[in-house]
Amino acid sequence: MTSKPERSTQPDNTTPQQAMPKVNKLTAGDITASLKAGFSDFLARPIMSSFFGLFYAVFGFLLVWALVWLGKIWMIIPAIVGFPLVAPFAAAGLYEMSRRLQTGESFGWSEILTVMADQRKREMGWMAFVTLFIFWVWVYQIRLWLAIILQNASFSNFEGFLNTVFFTPQGWTFLAVGTCVGAFLSAALFSVTVIAMPMLLDRETNFVSAMLTSVRVVTENPVVMLSWAAIISFTMLVSLIPAFLGLIFTLPILGHTTWHLYQRAVSPAQT
C-alpha cells in the first residue's frame, strides 16, 4: 500500500483550463473574521511571520538610504508612498503559511522558502511583472509632474524638498495631482492583485484569470473591498513612520488576513 503523495510545490501548468471560480458576496463581518484568523496565524508562528515583515522593512530602509546616497531626494516621498504597492507579492510566503496552518500541514523554513522559490516557475512571476510595472509608472509620473509643476524649484536636501512641496502653491498643486494619479494607480493595482496573488498560489490557473477574478471580487463587493483597501493603506503608511519598523508586525498580519479573505471571497476549486 502506497502513501498519499504530498502537495507538489512544482505543479504542472499544462492542466486543462478551469472554469472561472464563483465569487461570493462579502460583508464587513468577513473582514473582521479574516483579521482574527490572520492575527491567529501570526501568533501561531510569530518568528517566521515577523521574518517576512523584517525583510520588507529592511528593504524599505535601504531603499531610502540609497536614494539619499545617490542624491535622488525627490524620489524619497514617491518611493515611500509607492513602496506598499509591492507588498502583495512580498506576502507569498505568508499565504503559504496560512494555507498550511488551515489544512493542518506541518512546515518549516525549508518548505515555505521552497514554495516561494518555485513561484518563479509559475504564473506568479507575471503578477510580479504587473506589480513592478505599475510601481514604475507611479515613479515615472511623479518625475513627470515634478518637471512640469516644480520646474523652477531647486532643493539640495530632503528638508528643502519638503518645504517646497508642502509650503508653496506649486507644491500644493504637485501634491494634488500626484495624489489623484496615485490613487488611481493604487486602486487599479489593488483590484487586480488583492485576490489574484493568493489565488495563484492556491490553485492551478493563469494570471489573467486570476486578475479577472480579483477584479470581479472588487466590483461585486465594492464597499467591503474598498474598506479593506483603506485598512491596508492606513496601516501600511502608519507602519512606515517608525523607520519602517512597524512593518515587522503589520505586514505579516495583513498578509495572513488577505489569505483568509480570499478564502471567503472565492469558492473552492472544483476537483
Q: Judging by beta carbons within 10 Å of its beta carbon (0-12, 13-18, 19+), is residue 152 exposed, middle or buried?
A: exposed
Looking at mean pLDDT, say which of 7-16, 75-84, 97-106 comes out highest: 97-106
231-270 pLDDT per residue, tens? 988 898 888 887 788 889 999 999 999 999 999 999 887 6
Question: Taking the domains of the chain in order of start, what are their residue ranges?
Answer: 28-265
The distance of Cα 211 from the centroid of its chain, to the nearest Å, equals 14
Q: What is the pTM of this model?
A: 0.81
CB 139 within 8 A of CB 75: yes
Cell numbers that stand for 54 in this block: 523584517
d(CA 82, CA 240): 11
Span 206-221, mean pLDDT? Answer: 94
d(CA 45, CA 73): 38
CB contact set of 189 (below 8 Å; sequence gap of 6+): 85, 130, 131, 134
- Residue 71's SS3 state is coil
CB contact set of 255 (below 8 Å; sequence gap of 6+): 38, 49, 52, 87, 90, 91, 94, 95, 98
